[in-house]
Structure 1
Amino acid sequence: MPGLEAAANLKKVIVHPLVLLSVVDHYNRVAKDTKKRVVGVLLGQVEGDVVNVANSFAVPFEEDDKNPEVWFLDHNYVDTMRDMFKKVNAKERIVGWYHNGPKLRAADLQISDLFRRYTASPVLVVIDVHARAIGLPTDAYFAVEDIHDDGTAATKTFEHVPSEIGAEEAEEIGVEHLLRDIKDSATGSLATRVAHQLTSLQGLAERLADTRVYLQQVLDGGLPPNSEIIQNLQDIFNLLPNLAIPDDAPAFTTHANDEYALIYVSAMARAIIALHDLINNKIENRQAELEADAKKEAAATTPPAEPAAEAKAA
């Protein structure tokens, strides 16, 4: 399979909305209100260092709650479904598998090894089927060999890959139709932007909390320090503005006040325009009612004309 060998250096996994809807439907049919998890196969293409997950199908899966090493996945069913999907769309190949998580399990490495018979580097996407207001419902991983510095044997582990939700034009239209009954049509673009900014700030607060927990565990000796993570955190802190400088603090305050003033004026203008349109609408409706009443009165007071035949007979 061309391109699958490059999956060992993945940089991004794109998950389509159809996959999310299929996984949620699979969970609601099989494991809703239970502690079971559902497993399925991901179909798509590998384009360089990007995996495009465009489709999926469910797979019969069972595991022992007491012993995570005991599990069953019907790979004969996977072979049959793969051949059937290949007849429908030859471009969609098996690129990995999914489960509803919400976290990694002990048997995930063994299941990934099973999927190596279909692709060289299978991608694991953990999809959260429960609604979350913050963050994406997907976490992508692929198995790598962790080489130890002490000379011990290498062990396999999962490496996290950034994931995002992407869609083609036809899928975006379908999603808009599905969300039409959920979105409030009376909500303007300004309120939508403010809601998105609030959600972004809440997501940032969660990420900062996770960073604090990680650093505290490193200080306490619970986790080994990772030089790459520490370097990234140092770069983040270096990019933060220094508000202790006398010239910077007023500049940020002025910029923020200008933004708030623009939002306030825009909201006032939107309210005034809406009120003006409402008044004009009432005036037009009132004028139409008066014209209709005048026509009715004119029709009632006008005597009927005598027929021409009766006038000649007289």
Structure 2
Amino acid sequence: MLPTTNPITISQNTTVIVHPLVLLSVVDHYNRVAKSTKKRVLGVLLGQNNSKTVNVANSFAVPFEEDERDPSVWFLDHNYVEAMNDMFKKVNAREKMIGWYHSGPKLRGSDLEINELFKRYTPNPVLVIVDVEPKDIGIPTDAYFAIEEIKDDGTATTKTFMHVPSQIDAEESEEIGVEHLLRDIKDNAVGTLSTRVTDQLNSLKGLQSRLEEIREYLQKVVDRQLPINHQIIYNLQDIFNLLPNLNVSDTVKSFSVKTNDQLLVKVYNQLKKKRKKKIKLKRKTQKKVQRLRKEKNKVVS
């Protein structure tokens, strides 16, 4: 059995940082094992955990089977987990086992039992669910920690998962590697106009959905359906404070100058196209006149 580390306090302020290498590994694992099926894949997460920030830097796949009809029936090869973890420690001792992942896309009934198994290796394992086929725009990860839920009526506590914020971050070397991989797939810099417009439209749809979630939350707070969470209110206030004041004269002038510059380029291009058409029509007319003159001279002679 692997040695466990000292317990670390986990709170809702804890942030889970997932590196692109982990996302690529999970997607590759899913495509190799469970693509076009309803099965999920499962693996181990490696990195560092200092209670405030959980840095998920690496991962490896684990053989896993479960009964889709009975969530309580599942198999995970813990001997394989221990052997792989020993080999990874020889390569990078800084990367410790900090939790596990699966392809979800949502929590399953057996997740708490599997999480208890990983407590043999780390006291507070983080569960990261990676949506390998996302239908919505946004971050494809959800992070959870198992906690003891205390009941108000004094009954026995129950275990449940607490959601914590997650984000995607990368070191400089990872960014270079990801850019190199994506270069052969899609180059956004030289994409067609329709592709760029579609990307901007999808980004705006994502922004609209986030704003709608904020509006619904605030409305529930006003209607007393949810208690006031001052931390969330402070975060929202910080977000709105970052919005530019569009009524400032300098900002209005900057927008006007930028718009005029863009319109000038557009007008110039239109004039250029019309000039080319005019020159083309003139040349065509001249050729037609010359041809008629030659035919006339032949008739006269």
TM-score higher than 0.5 here? yes
Selected match of 1:54 from 52, 57, 81: 57
Match of 1:149 in 2: 152
What is the identity percentage for the equivalent residue pairs of Structure 1 and Structure 2? Answer: 55
Cα gap change, 1:80 to 1:209, in 2 (>3 Å) = same
Match of 2:262 in 1: 267
Alignment partners' CA distance in 2, 1:115 and 1:195: 42
**Quick check: 1:3–1:48 contact (8 Å CA) kept in 2?**
no
Selected match of 1:185 from 159, 183, 189: 189
Determine whether 1:111 maps to 2:114: yes
Aligned letter for 2:106?
A: K
Say which structure, 1 or 2, has more relative contact order (CA 8 Å, 6+ apart). 2
CA RMSD of aligned residues (A): 3.8
Which aligned pairs between 1:154-169 and structure 2 lie closer than 5 A? Answer: 154-169=157-172
Cα gap change, 1:145 to 1:263, in 2 (>3 Å) = farther
Aligned letter for 2:149?
A: D
1:102, distance to aligned residue in structure 2 (A): 0.9
Alignment partners' CA distance in 2, 1:130 and 1:263: 39
Alignment partners' CA distance in 1, 2:268 and 2:57: 44
**Quick check: 1:16–1:54 contact (8 Å CA) kept in 2?**
yes
The number of aligned residues is 261
1:176, distance to aligned residue in structure 2 (A): 1.4
Q: Tell me, which stretches of 5 or more residues in structure 2 are unaligned?
A: 271-301
1:8, distance to aligned residue in structure 2 (A): 2.0
1:69, distance to aligned residue in structure 2 (A): 1.4
Aligned letter for 2:182?
A: L
**Quick check: 2:4–2:121 contact (8 Å CA) kept in 1?**
no
Alignment partners' CA distance in 1, 2:72 and 2:221: 30
**Quick check: 2:5–2:122 contact (8 Å CA) kept in 1?**
no
Determine whether 1:37 maps to 2:37: no
203-212 or 118-127, which deviates more: 203-212
For residues 93-127 of structure 1, the C-alpha deviation after alignment (integer angstroms, 9 at most, x for no partner) is 10000011111111111111110011010000011
1:172, distance to aligned residue in structure 2 (A): 0.8
Match of 1:5 in 2: 7
Determine whether 1:136 maps to 2:132: no
Alignment partners' CA distance in 2, 1:239 and 1:39: 36
Aligned letter for 2:188?
A: D
For residues 124-176 of structure 1, the C-alpha deviation after alignment (integer angstroms, 9 at most, x for no partner) is 00111125562111111101111011001111111111111111111111111
Alignment partners' CA distance in 2, 1:102 and 1:26: 15
Alignment partners' CA distance in 2, 1:36 and 1:112: 19
Cα gap change, 1:268 to 1:43, in 2 (>3 Å) = same
Cα gap change, 1:218 to 1:122, in 2 (>3 Å) = same
14-23 or 132-141, which deviates more: 132-141
Aligned letter for 1:227?
A: P
Match of 2:281 in 1: none
1:264, distance to aligned residue in structure 2 (A): 2.4
**Quick check: 1:3–1:46 contact (8 Å CA) kept in 2?**
no
For residues 7-37 of structure 1, the C-alpha deviation after alignment (integer angstroms, 9 at most, x for no partner) is 5236111111110000000000000000000
Q: Tell me, which stretches of 5 or more residues in structure 1 are unaligned?
A: 242-248, 276-314
Match of 1:101 in 2: 104
Alignment partners' CA distance in 1, 2:228 and 2:114: 29
Match of 2:291 in 1: none
Match of 1:227 in 2: 227
Cα gap change, 1:208 to 1:36, in 2 (>3 Å) = same
SS of aligned partner of 1:185: helix
SS of aligned partner of 2:190: coil
Alignment partners' CA distance in 2, 1:79 and 1:156: 26
Determine whether 1:87 maps to 2:90: yes
TM-score (structure 1 length as normaliser)? 0.69
Cα gap change, 1:273 to 1:134, in 2 (>3 Å) = farther
Match of 1:245 in 2: none
Cα gap change, 1:97 to 1:134, in 2 (>3 Å) = same
**Quick check: 1:18–1:54 contact (8 Å CA) kept in 2?**
yes
Cα gap change, 1:11 to 1:26, in 2 (>3 Å) = same
Cα gap change, 1:230 to 1:91, in 2 (>3 Å) = closer
Alignment partners' CA distance in 1, 2:218 and 2:110: 28
Alignment partners' CA distance in 2, 1:180 and 1:274: 31
Cα gap change, 1:215 to 1:178, in 2 (>3 Å) = same
TM-score (structure 2 length as normaliser)? 0.72
Cα gap change, 1:70 to 1:184, in 2 (>3 Å) = same
Alignment partners' CA distance in 2, 1:111 and 1:274: 63
Selected match of 2:19 from 16, 19, 22: 16
Alignment partners' CA distance in 2, 1:2 and 1:116: 8
Aligned letter for 1:251?
A: N
